[in-house]
Amino acid sequence: MEELRDRVAAVTGAASGIGRALAQALAAEGCHLALSDVDEAGLARTAESVSGSGAKVRTDRVDVRDREAVHAWADAVADEFGRVNLIFNNAGVALSADVRSMSYEDLEWVMDVNFWGVVHGTKAFLPHLERTGEGHVVNVSSIFGVIAVPTQSAYNAAKFAVRGFTEALREELEVAGSGVSATTVHPGGIKTSIVANSRLREVEGRVATREEAMEQFDRLARTTPEEAARTILAGVKRNDRRVLVGVDARVIDGVQRLVPTGYQWLLETLFRRTRPDGPG
Ligand SMILES: NC(=O)c1ccc[n+]([C@@H]2O[C@H](COP(=O)([O-])OP(=O)(O)OC[C@H]3O[C@@H](n4cnc5c(N)ncnc54)[C@H](O)[C@@H]3O)[C@@H](O)[C@H]2O)c1
């Protein structure tokens, strides 16, 4: 989809970070917006920030874990706007924990938001996209959907799953020739609130403080949400299957191709020295 003017885009997790920047970039391209999040105050701030763009904007409080709520939202958006062309399944959360001490509840929380949220958004919007004949499903994974990292087993599981799910979907859509496409997005470190909003749990018998985790993440995250949104939209317009966001993501992807299991040894060496707790 090369032209975004007058298209209708739905974005989950639009109250903050990449979701907010996507909403702003889409509005600047002349897209109309259906924005959702669990954070209503943040969502209102995002809507306010695009109010001068001329875009029609609808906001809804939707928890992406809630299958029925996501389907009801998709139907209501299609009803109100008359069509939906793009769904950005972006809402996500982070957890730092080692497998030994991680609770099932924390693991389920990450899978429910980061994997099932993406599945719900994809399945709820797909029939509406197919009706337009030129839709696009954009699912946000992570560079942690390409490499696995100590303390990130739950996040890795969800983001690898998003990648598998979306790549299979893309293949199915290509075979069907429905005019709908799908892109998997793998950001590296993006300067957002993801670590501030994360759950920090025990790693080797110790829980990092919020300050430690945020400081470490701030050191590693190099790309702004605005740069990320630009890269994502450029990839969608090119109809890329995979969008890597940031130099760090491109380098890590290259290392993984070069040494598909050897990268683990590199990470183990790094983690013996420092113990990063943030996602990427
Ligand atoms: N920031 C990074 O470094 C980074 C790197 C790779 C991938 N990502 C991914 O990018 C996406 C956006 O994250 P971000 O960095 O902008 O973080 P963020 O915390 O700034 O934004 C995430 C948004 O998702 C919302 N959200 C959380 N749980 C939700 C739920 N159950 N239902 C609906 N909304 C919910 C939050 O309220 C928040 O507004 C996530 O999928 C994340 O995993 C981020």
**104 noted as active-site residue:** no
Residue 161 in tokens:
């799953």
Nearest to 121 by CA among 132, 109, 135: 135
Report CA(221)–ligand 1 centroid distance (Å). Answer: 14
Taking every pair of C-alpha atoms in the chain, what is the biggest distance, in angstroms? 55
8 A C-beta contact, residue 115 and residue 93 = no
Q: Whose CA is nearest to atom 5 of ligand 1?
A: 280
Q: Would you state the CATH architecture of domain 8-273?
A: 3-Layer(aba) Sandwich (3.40)
How high is the pLDDT of residue 237?
97
Structure tokens at 258: 């070069």
pLDDT digits (tens, 9 = 90+) for 204-260: 899 999 999 999 999 999 999 999 999 999 999 999 999 999 999 999 999 999 999
Which atom of ligand 1 has the smallest separation from the CA of 159? 43
Q: Summarize pLDDT for 125-184 with one digit per residue, the tens.
A: 999 999 999 999 999 999 999 999 999 999 999 999 999 999 999 999 999 998 999 999
Q: Which atom of ligand 1 is nearest to the CA of 140?
A: 41
What region, left, alpha or beta, does residue 202 occupy, with left being phi > 0 and alpha being psi -120 to 50 degrees? beta
- Of 21, 38, 45, 64, the closest CA to residue 187 belongs to 21
CA of 280 to the centre of ligand 1 (A): 11
Per-residue confidence band for 1, with pLDDT thresholds at 50, 70 and 90: confident
Q: Work out the average pLDDT over 105-128.
A: 98
What is the reported pLDDT for 279?
47
Beta carbons of 132 and 53 less than 8 angstroms apart: no
- For the stretch 12-32, pLDDT in tens is 999 999 999 999 999 999 999
Q: How confident is the model at residue 2 (pLDDT cuts 50, 70, 90)?
A: confident
pLDDT for 50:
97
- Residue identifier of the C-alpha nearest atom 43 of ligand 1: 92
Q: Report CA(29)–ligand 1 centroid distance (Å).
A: 23
How far apart CA 67 and CA 73 sit, in angstroms, is 10
pTM of the model: 0.97
The span from the CA of 166 to the CA of 145, in Å, is 12
DSSP state of 48: H
pLDDT tens digits for 54-80? 999 999 999 999 999 999 999 999 999
* H, E, C per residue of 201-261: CEECCEECCHHHHHHHHHHHCCECHHHHHHHHHHHHHCCCCEEEECHHHHHHHHHHHHCCC
The Å distance, Cα 113 to ligand 1 centre, comes to: 9
pLDDT at 48: 98
Which protein residues are within 6 Å of ligand 1, measured from CB? 12-13, 15-19, 37-39, 42, 63-65, 90-93, 113, 140, 142, 187, 189-190, 192-194, 197, 221, 279-280
3 state SS of 60: strand
Residue 118 predicted with pLDDT over 90: yes
C-beta separation of 84 from 74 below 8 A: yes
Q: Can you tell me which atom of ligand 1 is nearest the CA of 19?
A: 16
Map out the domains of the chain as residue ranges. 8-273
Looking at 125, 155, 160, 263, which residue is catalytic? 155
Residue 275: predicted pLDDT:
57
